[in-house]
Amino acid sequence: MMKWESWSAFWSMDGAALFVWGSYAVTALLIAVELVLVLRRRSDVVRRLARLRRAAPLANGGRRTSEEIFE
């Protein structure tokens, strides 16, 4: 803590707390949301494609079936 006299001085940002922390909080929130969405998309895709493979186990033979289920 070389710069700030106390933690409360740090959090109050000399009166600019709303603007500074409002910026950082929304940034952190959006990054968290994006990470969750990206990871969830991955597990959704894997699960959906796995279901397709069980529905049409004949490698490429089940092309039309998988197309129907996917869309």
Partner 1 sequence: MMNTSSLSQKRTPKSILRFAAPQMFYPLAGTLAPWCAGIAAVLTVIGLYIGFFVAPTDFQQGEVYRVIFIHVPAAWMSMLIYLAMAFWAAVGLVLNTRMSFIMTQALAPTGAMFCFLALWTGALWGKPTWGTYWVWDARLTSQLLLLFLYLGFMALTQAIEDQRRADRAGAIIALVGAVNVPIIYFSVQWWNTLHQGASVTPTGSSMASTMLAGMLVMAIASWAYTFAVVFWRVRSLILERERHTDWVGAEIDAQEGRS
Query: Quick one: which of 36, 46, 65, 68 contacts partner 1 (CB under 8 A)?
Result: 46
18, 20, 60 from 31: Cα distances, Å: 20, 17, 38
Separation of alpha carbons 68 and 56, rounded Å: 11
In the numeric block, which tokens belong to residue 42? 């991955």
Q: How far is the CB of 57 from partner 1 (least distance, A)?
A: 10
Tell me: does residue 1 bind partner 1 (CB under 8 A).
Answer: yes
- What number of other Cβ atoms are within 10 A of residue 34's Cβ? 10
Chosen residue from 32, 36, 55, 63 binding partner 1 by CB under 8 A: 63
Contact 55, 62 (CB under 8 A): yes
Which residues form the interface with partner 1 (CB under 8 A)? Answer: 1-4, 10, 13-16, 18-20, 22-24, 26-27, 30-31, 34-35, 37-39, 41-42, 45-46, 49-50, 52-53, 59-60, 63, 66, 70
